[in-house]
Amino acid sequence: MAAKRITIQATRFDPDKDDKPRLQSYDIPFTDESMVVLDALNYIKGHVDGSLSYRWSCRMGICGSCGMMVDGVPKLTCNAFLRDYWPKPITIQPLNNFPIIRDLIIDMDDFMEKLKSIKPWIIRKQELPLGGGEHRQFTPQIDEFRQFSQCINCMLCYAACPVYGLNDEFLGPAATALARRYNLDSRDEGLKQRLPMLADADGVWECSFVGECSVVCPKGVDPAKAIQQTKLDTTMRFVLPYGNRD
Amino acid sequence: MNGQVDPISYDVLIVGGGLAGIRAAIAAAEVNPRLRIGMVSKVYPMRSHTVSAEGGAAAALSKDDSYDTHAFDTVKGSDYLADQDVVDAFVREAPLEIVQMEHWGCPWSRNSDGTIAVRPFGGMTTWRTAFAADKSGFHMLHTVFQTSLKYPQIHRHDEAFVTKLLVEDSRCVGVTAIDLKTGRLDAITAKAVILATGGLGRIYAFTTNGNICTGDGMSLAYRAGVGLKDMEMVQFHPTGLPFTGILITEAVRGEGGYLYNNQGERFLKRYVPNKMELGPRDIISRAMTTEFEEGRGFEGPHGLFMHLDVRHLGEEVIDRKLPFMRELGREFVGIDIVKDPIPVRPVQHYMMGGIDADITGATPMKGLYAAGECANVGLNGANRLGSNSLPECLVFGAAAGRAAAEQVSSVAAVGSNPVDALLKDETQRVESSFLHKKGGDERIAEIREDMQHSMDTGAGVYRTREGLAELTKRLDGFRERFEKIKVDDSSRTFNTELMAALELDFMLDCAVTVAHSALAREESRGAHSRRDFPERDDKKFLKHTMAFHTEGDPRLEYTDVHLGKFEPKARSY
């Protein structure tokens, strides 16, 4: 029996040479049922064409580096198995809705700015001294924000978001989910400082509630829920008589 | 590739954006808020390999615990190669750092009274490992990274790859780094530089470590003349998934998981009868290797393995305390750990050895500090206890940040003349040896894979003189082949192949120090286990190995271990 092979079509784009991205096809050995798309890319880079460019590190679904479009769907390539696509060719493209730096590498500086803008740190009026020990926090209080703290910043949700695709000023799913993570933390008192950013013209109200962000999240985060809950937060501050109290 | 007008200049520059690096940056900012702090990382900081740590962070937090027992467990675990003054400082600082992380928002798992919960871990005599379910490293890294965003004085250079330390009058005055997006080689100067670049697991084929763990900082320091200490001390974790090497946390055993051989036997009763699954990593990895050799391993498509079984813990405990393990099993192996045993085998995991640094993180070179896995401050000796590395990053990252910040006021900024010359030399080297190299025909990946397999074979769980001598010869051959590499990619923009070549260059340096240090240590201690010298030899080798760069083989020297109140004794569990 001939050894099994698989065809990978990957986006190639070098801004120094190319006007626009193109697809290049590679036919490679599919030697092990455990192989994932990332293994295929590593085979190409190692043995066929060393110039193929992409990001990766942990290959266990936690560092968030290796998100790409796999047959048009945003995925972590470290856990997209070749066996689920074979014998058809697989098309690998950079994540949608982001500028491309090179090949499969997107520019995510925009997210890094958005992350900072929502003040993703504990804000308190009075900091507890270190010698005073830990804040008491109970499991049900952690359960309030737990899922939103699982975000690995992989950008799959932004690649799936039709609103972000049309308007890159939109704060977007992951940044809103992380703002929600802090707003819901019993140790935090920063809601008021975060609301202006969230209620801004490009904040949560831009979301048309398509919900694709939550579908593609590899970590079970539900950014769509974070956005809907935040809409409520921003409303309550205007409609309730004491809404602007601390 | 050098497009720079003025060098970028900082008071303190940190290389590496993992837990130790970010902790150092925040500590420096808190010593003196007016300092300009730079942080260079070859990845966005939240991609750093801290993110993969699972089980937790040890600290004497509970009322039943004491500094002394944490210190004793650590020293015994190290097979008495730890420096006891360093261990003593560490155990006292660790609880404060865990509380500090809590104040910054780390979602530590809690006791029913709302205090930080602890779990049992290997080699620890009491419950002292704080944890955030089984994603402790992930939560700690995102917590410190997000917290660091509130310090405007910390300036980040994300996705910049450091190629060399700038040294002027035997003082470290900065680095040269390639900005990956533009391909520009910049000089970044500083009054103090802290290396926090993590481990070197990628010198092995079968490792839990991510692609970025290539020993960069160790090689940078080594080439600048700083010694690498105890490089033979490489940790093999007992429980990695076959094929991928994905880590299955020791917390699985901490929470009550059992290890079985193919006879359905909890075989550890023959090796660590009093500790069983909670024995230290070095001993359990050796036990598994011995069982495999004697025919008691399961056979699979990716080699021999044991069963790690948590089925008796029940779904509720698994989902509360080990949810990521269930996810990894489901996604990467196609099993449900609630119903199926987990296939595991020993896997390279951690480097006890590293850049010679003292209790404050200071290296023997003026202006240069090191912290975290790339450093060897003397905490882990010949075998690190599980859950001591996350607090190590916090305690010694903070120490290095403070020490570096405190010394900058007494240092003048380096002038641009020497820096310009150094940058020009480095630009020339990167261009001619890599980017515009002519006539090479060796593929980077092939040399790398050959090196990795040679390390697995020659410097694994058990070592011999023959195996190590053969390894040193093979490594010399890989270095010769490396001189003839071919780089397909000549683009300026995000050249990952150039980066892979520079990383392989670093890894070959590190691998050579591991092999030579291991060959010279003719005894068995902690993770370094010689079949030809099965006993520990305190007379000759209660010493740190120091490897120094030369034109030929590394020059080895030995320095005294800082002993203390725990007298070296036979190590049994």
For A119, the closest chain B residue by CA position comes to: B150
For A132, the closest chain B residue by CA position comes to: B99
What pLDDT, on a 0 to 100 scale, did the predictor assign at position A237? 66
Report the pLDDT averaged over residues B365-378: 98
The span from the first CA to the last CA of chain A, in angstroms, equals: 72
Instruction: State the DSSP code for A220.
Output: -
Residue A150 is part of which domain span?
109-239
Contact state of A64 with B47 under an 8 Å Cβ cutoff:
yes
A208 — pLDDT class (breaks 50, 70, 90): confident
Is the peptide bond prior to A89 cis by the omega test (within 30 degrees of 0)?
no
Two structure tokens written together for B121: 């871990």
Please say if the pLDDT value at position A172 is more than 70. yes
Evaluate whether residue A186 is within a structural domain.
Answer: yes
Clarify whether residues A145 and A205 are in a common domain: yes
Evaluate whether residue A245 is within a structural domain.
Answer: no
A236 — pLDDT class (breaks 50, 70, 90): confident
Contact state of A34 with B495 under an 8 Å Cβ cutoff:
no
At B179 the three-state DSSP class reads: strand
Clarify whether residues A97 and A126 are in a common domain: no
Instruction: Tell me the percentage of chain A whose pLDDT exceeds 70.
Output: 95
Q: How far away is chain A from the Cα of B565, in angstroms, using its nearest Cα?
A: 28
Clarify whether residues A140 and A78 are in a common domain: no
CATH of residue A214: 1.10.1060.10
Question: Chain-wide mean pLDDT for chain B?
Answer: 96
Contact state of A57 with B150 under an 8 Å Cβ cutoff:
no
Residues of B in contact with A102 (CB under 8 A): 491, 493-494
What pLDDT, on a 0 to 100 scale, did the predictor assign at position A246? 46
Evaluate whether residue A244 is within a structural domain.
Answer: no
Helices B465-482, B444-458: axis angle to 10 degrees equals 170
Clarify whether residues A120 and A88 are in a common domain: no
Evaluate whether residue A73 is within a structural domain.
Answer: yes
Evaluate whether residue A158 is within a structural domain.
Answer: yes
Clarify whether residues A89 and A188 are in a common domain: no
Q: How far away is chain A from the Cα of B212, in angstroms, using its nearest Cα?
A: 6
pLDDT in tens, B154-173: 999 999 999 999 999 999 99
Residues of A in contact with B48 (CB under 8 A): 63
Report the pLDDT averaged over residues A122-147: 96
Interatomic CA distance for residues A117 and A113, integer angstroms: 6
Residues of B in contact with A128 (CB under 8 A): 103
Q: How far away is chain B from the Cα of A166, in angstroms, using its nearest Cα?
A: 25
pLDDT in tens, A64-97: 999 999 999 999 999 999 999 999 999 999 999 9
Contact state of B444 with A178 under an 8 Å Cβ cutoff:
no
Two structure tokens written together for A214: 């939550």
The partner residue sitting opposite B116, judged by closest CB among A16, A134, A185, is A134
Interatomic CA distance for residues B143 and B122, integer angstroms: 26
Residue A159 and residue A110 in contact, taking contact as beta carbons nearer than 8 Å: no
Clarify whether residues A26 and A136 are in a common domain: no
Domain count, chain A: 2
Interatomic CA distance for residues A37 and B113, integer angstroms: 46
Indicate which of A58, A135, A149 best probes the interface with B, i.e. most B CBs within 10 Å of its own CB: A58
Please say if the pLDDT value at position B6 is more than 70. no
Contact state of A178 with B146 under an 8 Å Cβ cutoff:
yes
* Torsion sign across C-alpha atoms B286, B287, B288, B290: positive
Evaluate whether residue A246 is within a structural domain.
Answer: no
pLDDT in tens, B78-127: 999 999 999 999 999 999 999 999 999 999 999 999 999 999 999 999 99
Helical spans, DSSP H, in B414-495: 416-430, 444-458, 465-482
**A97-111 burial, b if ≥16 CB within 10 A, otherwise e?**
bbebbbbbbbebebb
Residues of A in contact with B181 (CB under 8 A): 101, 107
Please say if the pLDDT value at position B5 is more than 60. no
Its pTM stands at 0.97
Q: How far away is chain B from the Cα of A109, in angstroms, using its nearest Cα?
A: 10
Two structure tokens written together for A129: 């001294």
Report the pLDDT averaged over residues A111-118: 98
What pLDDT, on a 0 to 100 scale, did the predictor assign at position A243? 47
Which residues are registered as beta bridge partners of B110? B116
Closest CA to B8 of B194, B196, B190: B190
Decide which of A91, A106, A121 is a domain's last residue: A106
The partner residue sitting opposite B46, judged by closest CB among A54, A59, A153, is A153
Clarify whether residues A13 and A102 are in a common domain: yes
Count CB neighbours of B339 within 10 A. 9
Please say if the pLDDT value at position B7 is more than 90. no
What pLDDT, on a 0 to 100 scale, did the predictor assign at position A245? 46
Contact state of B99 with A134 under an 8 Å Cβ cutoff:
yes
Instruction: Tell me the percentage of chain B whose pLDDT exceeds 90.
Output: 96
Please say if the pLDDT value at position A39 is more than 90. yes
A239 — pLDDT class (breaks 50, 70, 90): low
pLDDT in tens, B256-289: 999 999 999 999 999 999 999 999 999 999 999 9
Question: Chain-wide mean pLDDT for chain A?
Answer: 94
Please say if the pLDDT value at position A140 is more than 70. yes
Evaluate whether residue A61 is within a structural domain.
Answer: yes
B2 — pLDDT class (breaks 50, 70, 90): low
Residue B562 and residue B86 in contact, taking contact as beta carbons nearer than 8 Å: yes
Clarify whether residues A10 and A86 are in a common domain: yes
What pLDDT, on a 0 to 100 scale, did the predictor assign at position B416? 77
Evaluate whether residue A183 is within a structural domain.
Answer: yes
Instruction: Name the residue with tokens 């390639």.
Output: B178
Decide which of A78, A106, A134 is a domain's last residue: A106
Q: How far away is chain A from the Cα of B207, in angstroms, using its nearest Cα?
A: 11
Interatomic CA distance for residues B56 and B47, integer angstroms: 18
Instruction: Name the residue with tokens 């966005």.
Output: B44
Residues of B in contact with A145 (CB under 8 A): 107
Instruction: Name the residue with tokens 């120090």.
Output: B513
For A112, the closest chain B residue by CA position comes to: B44
What pLDDT, on a 0 to 100 scale, did the predictor assign at position B536? 98
What pLDDT, on a 0 to 100 scale, did the predictor assign at position B415? 78
For B247, the closest chain A residue by CA position comes to: A60
What pLDDT, on a 0 to 100 scale, did the predictor assign at position B156? 97
At A49 the three-state DSSP class reads: coil
Catalytic residues of B: 237, 253
Instruction: State the DSSP code for B208.
Output: S
What pLDDT, on a 0 to 100 scale, did the predictor assign at position A241? 53
Clarify whether residues A100 and A17 are in a common domain: yes
pLDDT in tens, B481-511: 999 999 999 999 999 999 999 999 999 999 9
Clarify whether residues A229 and A174 are in a common domain: yes
Clarify whether residues A99 and A118 are in a common domain: no
B203 or A235, greater pLDDT: B203
What pLDDT, on a 0 to 100 scale, did the predictor assign at position A238? 60
The partner residue sitting opposite B146, judged by closest CB among A51, A64, A120, is A120
CATH of residue A54: 3.10.20.30
Decide which of A106, A124, A142 is a domain's last residue: A106
Residues of A in contact with B57 (CB under 8 A): none
Residues of B in contact with A153 (CB under 8 A): 44, 46
Residues of A in contact with B243 (CB under 8 A): 32, 34
At B256 the three-state DSSP class reads: coil
Q: Which domains does chain B have, with CATH numbers?
A: 8-234+350-415 (3.50.50.60), 239-346 (3.90.700.10), 417-542 (1.20.58.100)
pLDDT in tens, B445-477: 999 999 999 999 999 999 999 999 999 999 999
Instruction: Tell me the percentage of chain B whose pLDDT exceeds 70.
Output: 99
Residue B118 and residue B129 in contact, taking contact as beta carbons nearer than 8 Å: yes
Clarify whether residues A100 and A119 are in a common domain: no
What pLDDT, on a 0 to 100 scale, did the predictor assign at position B414? 81
Contact state of B493 with A127 under an 8 Å Cβ cutoff:
no
Contact state of A63 with B49 under an 8 Å Cβ cutoff:
yes
Q: How far away is chain B from the Cα of A42, in angstroms, using its nearest Cα?
A: 9
Indicate which of B145, B493, B503, B504 best probes the interface with A, i.e. most A CBs within 10 Å of its own CB: B493
Interatomic CA distance for residues A213 and A226, integer angstroms: 11
Residue A56 and residue A77 in contact, taking contact as beta carbons nearer than 8 Å: yes
Please say if the pLDDT value at position B211 is more than 60. yes
Please say if the pLDDT value at position A191 is more than 70. yes
Please say if the pLDDT value at position B175 is more than 80. yes
Report the pLDDT averaged over residues B206-226: 98
